[in-house]
Each structure stands twice: as structure tokens, then as C-alpha cells.
Structure 1
Amino acid sequence: MSEFSINELGVKVGLEIHQQLATNKKLFCNCTPIDTDEYSIKFQRKLRAAKSELGEYDPAALFEKSKSKTIMYFANPESSCLVEQDEEPPHELDVDAKKISLVIASALKSDVFREIYPMRKTVVDGSNTTGFQRTMLISQGGSFNVEDKEIGIQSICLEEDAAKILGEDGAIKKYGLERLGIPLVEIATEPFEVNPHEIKKIALSLGRILRSTKKVKRGLGSIRQDVNVSIKDGNAVIEVKGVQQLDQLEKVVEYEAKRQHGLLKISKKLQEIDWTHSDNDRKDVTELFKKCKSKIIQNAIKKNQKIVGISFRNMSGMFGYAPHEGIRLGKEVAELVRFFGIGGVFHSDELPNYGVENTDIDDLKKTLEINDNDGFLVLAAPEEKINVVIDQIILRIEYIRNEGIPIDTRLATQSGETKFLRPRPGAARMYPETDIPPIIISKTELDNAINNIPKSWDDSIKDLQTEYQLNLQLSEQLFDSNYFELFEKITEKTKVNPTFVASILCSTITNLERNGLDSKLLKNEEITKTFQFLEEGKIAKESVEIIFENIMNGKSHTIEKAMNNTSIETIDESELESICKEIVEKNQKIVENQKERAIGPLMGIAMKELRGKASGEIINKLLLKNIKNKLENN
């Protein structure tokens, strides 16, 4: 395994930012985007690939078709209509979405087209009921600066967001339609060569330009980064989709560059091997493995699946060869197989293991007529799928051998690795939308967009500091957070100190998340209500974190329930005075020994008893008063 230094690879990166727009309706209908998990409508579709106007099939569409998935859709009439169900033609383009996209294009100095042509982009993974996504090229060119570096803009598109995936159940893929059709802009940058640690800063700067408009959505899922990665000696640009958090970007680019470099080394080794594949190299070994102790194999046999052995002449050691840690041909094959919904694949370099014993391997080698210099795969899959999957495996290995890096679309994982999603789409993917006429952009619309270019990020931060008397650090945290609009609503509705509100939203919730709690359970309405209760004196400042913690750990859904679960109730000052006096009385020795310094340990005792029921400031004041009285009396 060789040493790996990413700085020597000549890594090039291009970003694609997908940002939902804050409009009151979807792009081509009047439905209001509402995030809901309540569905009263359910229907299913079986999508298929169709030829483009040029008579060609898109490779990504053909690949998705090969998985033979049934798509189940779930809808709520409050957030979707017949347009999303593909039972009604699209309505007119949302005017607000058009205005916002023009402002964003103008802010990035991009050249706006005077005529915009809606297009259909083929999507056969089920995330669009139509089998395509509606998209419009708004502008090309432009740039923005990140410190002393100018980042070029390739294109800006206005398009529909996809449906929300709800999960998979065998051959059925489930989607919710509440997100389908929400307007978003896709901004693609020109490729740039940077160190991986600079990428987060570039994406953050672009995100800040978008948020400065105050016309984009915030929150998890409202902005997504795709990243295109290539290396100097490589033959491919790999698109990695679904980077939800900026902290992932650096890890994703580093891993993908390492993977591509590793595949080039694997390719060179494969070229040294005399290997070809024929149908005789795959044999049904289901009977042979009926006594195998592997749980994976036995589960497959119970489901009446086939077990097939595939021989690879002269390839002993190749599936396990790792030019870099975690980069192996065997892993590439496993990712591909797993995406077909098949969990059972073993290769010769990892056996005996997983319940497959030496006797099983010896019998397999005899059946496949191979020796110790040869490699093999053992694949368990439904009979109707198994040859399709084997064909894809062979194609992939042949491509790695002959070309180097397969041109894939890949998916980012939470750990920063990438995994196979589908082949890259081709030019046949895009064709004109026949239901919507071209959209004319007038000079007045362009002038209005230019006049509404938002303030810079620096100016926005200064405004925050001035208007709400926040310090620089808290202003920056607030502006970059998902809670900026909520902060403005809370400070408008209540007289709670803005610094306290910002600190709770930016620090307290984040700290609870770091402890493994789920902020998605904490709805904006409950956050607002908490600050209203604080203003009305129903809770103390110290109660806010306790309430949020109880909701974020799933024990409560509302502030009232959280208050009940945590026994939070405010007490009047006379009762508080009595409790503080009693604490001093019970700890006379500490007061005698430490005098007024006794406030420290006594404050700890009081906060355990009174946490969430009274302000720490008032408790401190009453304890100090009783300590002084006790000392004077003594």
C-alpha cells in the first residue's frame, strides 16, 4: 500500500449548489410547499426508459430501468396536486421564482438570457413522477471572489426540486411528493484547482451570497452541494451528489481523489493480466453451497435465490489489492452489487470468511475448473436479476482495465466516502419541454433584478451587529445558521434579549446536537412559543435548554409536554426566598468557613434543586443576601 499525498494529484473541483427558493408556491402549480409526513393519497408507477428525440437511450436511464423497481408515491393535497401526480399539465411559471433567480444571476455577474427555454431532463430513479425534471438555463458566465481567488460561474438554472425519498422495501421505492416541484436554483462553478481545505470556504461564500437575498430557504435539505472531482492523470470527471453539510466537502474530495488515483493503479495491474470473460466462466453453484455455513448464502437459498460462481483467470489477489487504504477492486464490485439491492457477493481474496470454509472453496474451484492463480466471485441473487448484475460487474471490471476510472455519478456518505449511484447521464438526457412556451425576460425585469442585488455579506453582518447589538462572532454564526429568519420573527414578536435568543439558536441547539440529539424534532413553532413563555414569565431562562433537550431526545413533542415531563414550573419570589434561606441554614458550616465565598458551593446546591424554576441571577442575589444576614447575626 503506497503513501498518499493529495497535493501531488492535481485535484480539480467544480461545485454545483442546489438552493431552494423561499416562494409561496411551487414552480409550476399553486401548491404551498409544506413539510409534512401525513399522506392521504397513495399511488404507484413503473417507470421505463424512452428514446430521446435523436433516437438514443440515456445510459443512466437504462441503468435505473435494469433495477426493475416499482415506485410508490405518497401525497398530501395541502402540499401537492394533480401536476405533481402527472395527471395535469404544468401551470405558468411562478413569477416570484423567476424574479429571485434573476436577482441571484445579477448578484453573480452572470449573463442572463433574454429568452428562456424550459427543458426536460430525464430522471428514471422515481424521484419525479413524470420521468423527467423541468429545468431552465437562466444565465451563463459570471464570478465571485473568495479572498484573493476568483471563482468562475459556468451556468445558473431554475428548476423543480425532486420528490423526497421515504425509503425502500424490497423492489418498492417510496417517495413523498411534498418537496416535488419546489423551485430551486442550480449554480455550477467552473472547475478550479485548490487544496481540499479551501473548498468549504468557497461553498460557504457562495451560500452567503444566496442567503444575503433573504429569498432562499434555510434548514436541512434546503441547500445541497454536488461536487465534481477529477485528478491530473485521470480520464474522468466524477460527480458526487448529496453533500448536505459543508464539513463533508473536504473529506469527500480527498476520498474521491484517492479512489480515482487508486483505480488508475488497479487498471495498470489489470492490464498486465491475460484475462477475458465468456459465458462459460459463470456457473450455477446453488446445489454446491446448500451445506455452506454462511448465513448470507443460507438466507439467499431460503429465498429461492441462485448462487453463481464466476471465474477470473490469473486474477488471484486482484480483488483484494489495495493501492490505498480502503480502495479495492472488490469494494467497487460490492458497491455495484449492493445498489441492485443484492447483499450477497464474496470474492476469492476475502475467503475463507463469513461462514464460507476451505472445503467450500475447494469444491468451488473444482466446479469452476480454476487453480490458485485464478480469482473468483460468488454471487447470490434472484434468478431474474443475477445475469444482469453479472453483466454489469464484467462491464465495470473491463472498463477499469481498459479505460481506468468509470464515469459514474456517486453518492456522498456521512463518513466522507463516496459510493456508486449510477452511470453518468449523456447528452440524450435533455430535450425540450413541449407543455410550456419560451419565457421572455424583459429589460424592465433585468433592471429590477440589478437594482435588487443584495448587500454584501460583510455589510449584512454589520447591520446585524447594529440592529440587534450582537457581537461579531454571534452575528456571523446567526447569519450562517438555519435559524436567521426564525430569529427575526422571535425578536419581532417578543422583547426577549436578542443576544440570548441568538445564543440559544446558534449555541445551545448545536451543543445538544453534538450530544446526539435530533434538532429536526424541534419545530419552529415550539421554539417561538418557548420564547413567548419566557417573556410572559411562565418559564425562566434556565428552562429553555431543559425544554429543548426534552423535545430533541423524543420524550416530548410540545413545550407544554416538556414542561410537564421535566417538572418545570415557576415559583414566586417569596417561595424562592424561603428555599434560599433554608439552603443557607442547612449549610452553616460552609458559610462560617468560607464567608461570602460560600456563594459558589451553595449556588451549585440551589441550582440542582431549582434548575429551570427560577433565574440563576435571582437565586444568586437571594443566596448572597441570606449569607450576609447569617454572617451578621453570628
Structure 2
Amino acid sequence: MSDKFNYEELGLKVGLEIHRQLDTKKLFSPVPTKFSDEVDFTFQRRLRPTMSELGEVDPAALEEFKKGRVFIYEGNYQLTDLVYMDEEPPRGPDKEALEVALQIAYLLNAKPVDEVYYMRKIVIDGSNVSGFQRTAIIATDGKVETPWGTVGIPTICLEEDAARIIERKEKEVIYRLDRLGVPLVEISTTPDIHHPEQAKVVAKFIGDALRATRKVKRGLGTIRQDLNVSIKGGARIEIKGVQELDMIPLIIEREVERQLNLLKIRDELQRRGVRPEDIKEEFYDVTDVFTNTKSKIIARAIKKGGKVLAIKLPKFRGLIGREIQPGRRLGTEFADRARKYVPGIFHIDELPNYGITQEEVNEVIKRLGLGEEDAFVLVAAEEERAKNALREVIKRAKEAIIGVPEETRRALPDGNTEYMRPLPGKARMYPETDIPPIRIPDELKRKIKENLPELPQVKVEKYVREYKLDRSLAQTLVDDERDELFEELVQMGVKPSLAASILVVVLKGLRKEVPIENISDEHIKEAFSLYLEGKIAKEAFEEIFKEIARNPNKTARQIAEEKGLTLLSEDEVRKIIDEVIEQNIEVVKNKGMGAMGLIMGRVMAKVRGKADGKLVSQIVKKRLQEIVGGGV
């Protein structure tokens, strides 16, 4: 990725927050951490913000409360208990989860704390039934070395994951409780990342440390990477939900681009002499202008009894439509803020469009008394909703005059971001009174530190060096977490190159055809045992694994016998080769040894999976030499 900006000159600062689910029981109850679509019961709650001990209210919690939503919770008797219905005090925390977190701490060069103190973090978006999430610092002062310099890891926390969202409606959100309480490790870095690619390097190192424990969950949604990004003159922006490692540099680059463009808009607004206090909360009812409109959105709103309201934005014309990220404009930022009340807004820079005519635009300009540099924004909805939406636009427009507002944003698949909520304040944490402090014995720390697993990259280097594996093959083997099985196969006597090839190339090749997750390590080891015993050829692995994926209750030996994949004797192979040569004798006479490829292909079509290809090749070559040399 080429540098689009001079990041040093811009003063880029990036910090990471990486969250990864642990594959243990729930953090505060002895319930399995599995997910299910079976629902045995439901209940509902409303959540409200509370003041901190200093009498402050968290702004993010307050904004969620204003949405006035009811939360419906779906539960399963096997995967939910009273703790995570908020009907019983927490137990634990889970011992295994705590030990895995300590492993991760040591792998990241951090220092575990002597005592663990749990805190409550206010969360009232409904994802936690109690209205808070329990979190505790497990270790501090870690670090990651990169080509750009050292990046600190000030805290490693062990907390509980949130419920998973099933459906979001206007005034109601449905959550499922199976994910609530899954242990989650949160790793935060210092803002010492000064280049987009450096962020990717740090995230990969942390990801490798997590995977090394073999106690983290895999798959979509099990890891969440948040970015905190700022530049000189801009603001700290928290970007949530970055799923893919390779997207990190692009998302950072796009956020830098967004902040730079917002600063340019600020400078232009200030040059035009507009001040935040110039934007008044004055709503103009222009419903009659659109009585016969061809805009379906507006016509539909009016038909339902809604109104078309407009606000005046002095000196904003030409700037609302200015692009700040590819495909996103300042007007998109306005719409993101208003979306909690209405599906969308209309602004002067994009009109006429969407069925709105130039005549209608001119009439609105006249009604509002706009000058050449002035802009308007329209909303069509029920009156109070329309007013609330326009209040959000006014607030965001005032922020545009000042610069870049601090906020939490959501990562989008194309690398852009969209507004989620204000940045959380400091008034969202208070002590957890149901969990006493947990002392970590020195003996436990010593035991964990002395038995740390190898980091994935160390294993890759070892496989390249000791087993002479191709680097990309070794990397895939480790990334797919097949390395432990690979080492077991090598200890059984399987050639490293063959073991790696079957585990990576053959199994991954079957992924689109059959459910390879049905193929267990025991299935794979049994198939290799048959190979080592001389019962099957390596060409038989693919067919055996295909059948096991479809019928996981069968053994590799059963399938080999049922499918006739057990090896032919050498005499039987010779007989088949002679038959094929006889059937193609004219080609052999004309081409001599040049017929080798054709004969091999036709023999292998008959014996594939039942004879070793190397043996077949040796016999075919010898027979052709005899025929050619004998002048047959």
C-alpha cells in the first residue's frame, strides 16, 4: 500500500483495542459458550442511565436512553442461567478464562497484576441485561516491537461479551443471550502507532499471541478490532467493528482523509465568517410547497399526516455536498446523525433530485430568505420526529464550524466509516460490588510463564528451517491451526511435505464441495495410519476425506474398503499397465517414450487411489523402454 499522505507531518496517532472471545465456560457462570437458534423463553427490559459517584452522566448512555427502546431477550435453558438474566449474583470468574488471560499477558510482554478488581461499565444499548458490562484489568505494561518502533500495551482486560443482536426495530431490539457472558480479552495499545501499516503489524502480532493459546474462539464475530485515530488539528475517533486484518491500513487512511476534508470545510466556513451561534433552531413548515410533488418519499410522508420541515444553514451552500471520503459527503454525516429519527434528509447541494424539482427548490429558497451562500436541509416525517432529526443536523453543522467532532464510528466494508454515537465519557465506570478481589498466586504466575506456547511465527520459521517446508505452506498450516496435528503426523513417521500438503492443499480444496468441519483429527490420523501400513496410496486421501465429511460416523478404514481404495498388489498394477499399453500399442510404436504421458494418464484413471503414482510411473517407464528397445 503506497503512502497517500505524509503521516509524520500530519501527526497521525493510532491506538488499537482488540477483543477476542475465549473458548471456555462463561465468565461468571458455569454455562457452555455455544450458540443456538433454539429459544425456550423471552423477557423484556427497559434500561436507564445512572449517575456516576461524581454525579455525572455518560453522554453515550444518555443518547441511547433518548431512543426510548424496549429490549426483548431470547434465552435457551442449556446456554443461559439466572446470572445472565440478571436474576442472580455472578459466580467466578472462570478459573480457566483467567489463566488463559494470564498466558496472553506474558506472550505480550506484560506484567500481571497481583489482585484482580472487577468494575461495572455502563452499557444501555440493551446488549447487557443488567445495563452494565463487568471488566477487570489482568495485566499492564506490555509491548510490541515493530519496524517503526515500540508500541506499548498499557492494559489487558478480562471482561464479558455482550448479547448478540437478532433484530433491530424502530422502538424495539431483540437480543439472544447465548453470547452474553462469553469471556472476552480486551487488549489496548498506546497511541504510538504512526503509520497505517504499523497498525496492521501490531494487530497481527497480538492476534498471533491470542491464537497461540489454543483457547480462543474462531470464526466471524469472535474477534473485534477497534481503532482510535487522530491527526493534528483533528480529533480522536473511535472506529469499531474492524473484522479483517488487511482492512486496517485502508480504514486508517480513509479516516485521515475524512478529518483533513472536514478541516478544509471548517477553514472555508470560518473564511465565510459563519459562527456556531449563527445557526438557529428555527423550523420552517414548507409542506404546501410539496403538495403535488413527484418525490415518492415526501409524498408518502405527507399522506401519512407528516410535514416537510426545513432549516437554514447560513454560508453552508456548496459545502454540504463536498466529498469527505469516497462516496460520502458532509451531507452524509448530517444524515447519519438524523437517522435515529428519520430514514434520510434532503439538502440544497443535491437538489433538484429524487423527484424534487428546481421550482420546488426555488420556492424553499424564497420562503427561507436564503442568500447565495446559504443552504437548507429538508426532512419529511411526523412533526416531532422531523424536528428531532433537524436538531441533530443543527448540532452537527455547528460542530463542522469548529472542526472534527470526537465520536464513535462504525467501520464499513469499503473502508469508510459512519457515525454510531458520541465518544463514551469517564462517567461510565464504577466498582463491582458482587465480586470480591481475586488474588493471583505467585506460584500460578510462575507455572504459566514457564509453560508458554510458541508464537505462530516462531513455528513457521521452525517448519521452514527443520522440515524444509515452503514458507507459504508453513504459514497456512499455522494460520489454519493445523500445526499441532501436523507435528503429530510427523512423529507417526509421515513425511513433513506430504503431511503439510494433505492438511493444507487437499483439505482446503474440499471446502467448497463438502463440510470439512466433520473431518476430525482422529479421522485424519487414521487415514495416515493406513497409508503408513501400505494399505492406501496418497491419492486415496481426497476420496476418503470426501466420504468422511458426508458420513462422519464412518472410519477411514471402512471407507477405504467400501470404495475399493485399498492398494492393488504390484502384480495387479503390472497387469493393468500391460492392458493399457496393448490398447494403445500403435501410439506407443509411433511415439515411443513420447507416449509416456498418455499411458500414465489412462493407467491412473483406472488405478487412482488404489496404487501409488510413483510406483505406476516406474513400471510404465520400464515397460515402454522394453518395448521401444525391443523394437516391438
TM bin (shorter chain): 0.7 to 0.9
Q: Distance in 1 between matches of 2:140 and 2:17?
A: 14
Change (3 A) 1:246 1:570: farther
Q: Distance in 2 between matches of 1:168 and 1:202?
A: 34
Name the counterpart of 2:427.
428
Q: Tell me the TM-score normalized by structure 2.
A: 0.82
Name the counterpart of 2:280.
278
Q: Distance in 2 between matches of 1:16 and 1:415?
A: 21
Letter in 1 for 2:263: L
Q: Distance in 1 between matches of 2:546 and 2:171?
A: 38
Change (3 A) 1:511 1:569: closer
| Partner SS, residue 279 of structure 1 | coil
Q: Distance in 2 between matches of 1:431 and 1:82?
A: 23
Change (3 A) 1:34 1:308: same
Q: Distance in 2 between matches of 1:26 and 1:282?
A: 54
In 2, are the aligned partners of 1:321 and 1:329 still within 8 Å (CA)?
Answer: yes
| Partner SS, residue 92 of structure 1 | coil
Is there any run of 5+ residues in structure 1 with no aligned partner, and where? 562-567
Name the counterpart of 1:237.
236
Name the counterpart of 2:475.
476
Name the counterpart of 2:322.
321
Q: Distance in 2 between matches of 1:99 and 1:199?
A: 27
Letter in 2 for 1:420: Y
Name the counterpart of 2:211.
211
Matches within 5 A, 1:426-465: 426-455=425-454, 457=456, 459-461=458-460
Give a deviation string over 1:343-401, Cα, whole Å, max 9, x none: 32222111222332223323333443435532122224455533322222211121121
Give a deviation string over 1:433-483, Cα, whole Å, max 9, x none: 121122223333333343334445554446656998755443333223355
In 1, are the aligned partners of 2:342 and 2:389 still within 8 Å (CA)?
Answer: no
Per-residue deviation, 1:34: 1.3
Give a deviation string over 1:178-222, Cα, whole Å, max 9, x none: 222111221111111432223222221222233333443344333
Is there any run of 5+ residues in structure 2 with no aligned partner, and where? 555-561
Change (3 A) 1:579 1:173: farther
Q: Distance in 2 between matches of 1:357 and 1:609?
A: 73
Per-residue deviation, 1:92: 1.9
2:266 aligned with 1:261: no
Per-residue deviation, 1:432: 1.0
In 2, are the aligned partners of 1:122 and 1:430 still within 8 Å (CA)?
Answer: yes
Name the counterpart of 2:251.
252
In 2, are the aligned partners of 1:14 and 1:227 still within 8 Å (CA)?
Answer: yes
Percentage of matched positions with identical amino acids: 40
2:401 aligned with 1:401: yes
Letter in 2 for 1:172: E
Q: Distance in 1 between matches of 2:435 and 2:77?
A: 24
Matches within 5 A, 1:268-347: 268-273=267-272, 274=274, 276-283=278-285, 285=287, 287-301=288-302, 305-322=306-323, 325-326=326-327, 328-338=329-339, 340=340, 342-347=342-347
Deviates further, 405-414 or 206-215: 206-215
Per-residue deviation, 1:258: 1.2
In 2, are the aligned partners of 1:219 and 1:482 still within 8 Å (CA)?
Answer: no
Q: Tell me the TM-score normalized by structure 1.
A: 0.82
In 2, are the aligned partners of 1:569 and 1:613 still within 8 Å (CA)?
Answer: no
In 2, are the aligned partners of 1:304 and 1:382 still within 8 Å (CA)?
Answer: yes
In 2, are the aligned partners of 1:320 and 1:349 still within 8 Å (CA)?
Answer: yes
RMSD between aligned alpha carbons?
4.2
Give a deviation string over 1:319-362, Cα, whole Å, max 9, x none: 11236654531121133334x27432222111222332223323
Per-residue deviation, 1:118: 0.7
Letter in 2 for 1:477: T
Name the counterpart of 2:106.
106
| Partner SS, residue 61 of structure 2 | helix
Count of matched residue pairs: 612
Q: Distance in 1 between matches of 2:544 and 2:85?
A: 40
| Partner SS, residue 323 of structure 2 | coil
In 2, are the aligned partners of 1:165 and 1:174 still within 8 Å (CA)?
Answer: yes
Matches within 5 A, 1:9-408: 9-23=10-24, 25-147=25-147, 149-234=149-234, 236-273=235-272, 274=274, 276-283=278-285, 285=287, 287-301=288-302, 305-322=306-323, 325-326=326-327, 328-338=329-339, 340=340, 342-370=342-370, 372-402=372-402, 404-408=403-407
| Partner SS, residue 216 of structure 1 | coil
Q: Distance in 2 between matches of 1:408 and 1:154?
A: 22
Letter in 2 for 1:337: A
Per-residue deviation, 1:28: 0.4
Letter in 1 for 2:128: N
Matches within 5 A, 1:577-592: none
| Partner SS, residue 290 of structure 2 | coil
Q: Distance in 2 between matches of 1:523 and 1:604?
A: 28
Give a deviation string over 1:113-144, Cα, whole Å, max 9, x none: 32322101111222212111100022322323
Give a deviation string over 1:590-626, Cα, whole Å, max 9, x none: 6565444445467778889999999876887798789
Letter in 1 for 2:335: A
Letter in 1 for 2:446: D
Higher CA-based Rg: 2
Letter in 2 for 1:99: E
Deviates further, 132-141 or 159-168: 159-168
Name the counterpart of 1:564.
none
| Partner SS, residue 18 of structure 1 | strand
Deviates further, 466-475 or 160-169: 466-475
Per-residue deviation, 1:282: 4.0
Letter in 2 for 1:18: H
In 2, are the aligned partners of 1:547 and 1:559 still within 8 Å (CA)?
Answer: no
In 2, are the aligned partners of 1:265 and 1:323 still within 8 Å (CA)?
Answer: no
Letter in 1 for 2:418: K
Change (3 A) 1:148 1:320: closer
Per-residue deviation, 1:278: 2.6
Change (3 A) 1:571 1:480: closer
| Partner SS, residue 262 of structure 1 | helix
Q: Distance in 1 between matches of 2:490 and 2:18?
A: 31
In 2, are the aligned partners of 1:461 and 1:472 still within 8 Å (CA)?
Answer: yes
Q: Distance in 1 between matches of 2:443 and 2:349?
A: 67
| Partner SS, residue 82 of structure 2 | coil
Q: Distance in 1 between matches of 2:383 and 2:314?
A: 25
In 1, are the aligned partners of 2:490 and 2:496 still within 8 Å (CA)?
Answer: no
Q: Distance in 1 between matches of 2:302 and 2:596?
A: 71
Per-residue deviation, 1:40: 2.9
In 2, are the aligned partners of 1:119 and 1:432 still within 8 Å (CA)?
Answer: yes
In 2, are the aligned partners of 1:115 and 1:441 still within 8 Å (CA)?
Answer: yes
In 2, are the aligned partners of 1:12 and 1:229 still within 8 Å (CA)?
Answer: yes
Name the counterpart of 2:517.
524
In 2, are the aligned partners of 1:534 and 1:540 still within 8 Å (CA)?
Answer: no
Deviates further, 592-601 or 49-58: 592-601
| Partner SS, residue 229 of structure 1 | strand
Q: Distance in 2 between matches of 1:466 and 1:238?
A: 43
Change (3 A) 1:627 1:389: farther
Deviates further, 588-597 or 43-52: 588-597
Deviates further, 582-591 or 441-450: 582-591
Change (3 A) 1:68 1:534: farther
Give a deviation string over 1:24-45, Cα, whole Å, max 9, x none: x111000011133333333333
Change (3 A) 1:583 1:40: farther
In 2, are the aligned partners of 1:344 and 1:379 still within 8 Å (CA)?
Answer: yes
Give a deviation string over 1:256-298, Cα, whole Å, max 9, x none: 111111111111122234362333344352x543533334434
Deviates further, 291-300 or 501-510: 501-510
| Partner SS, residue 414 of structure 2 | coil
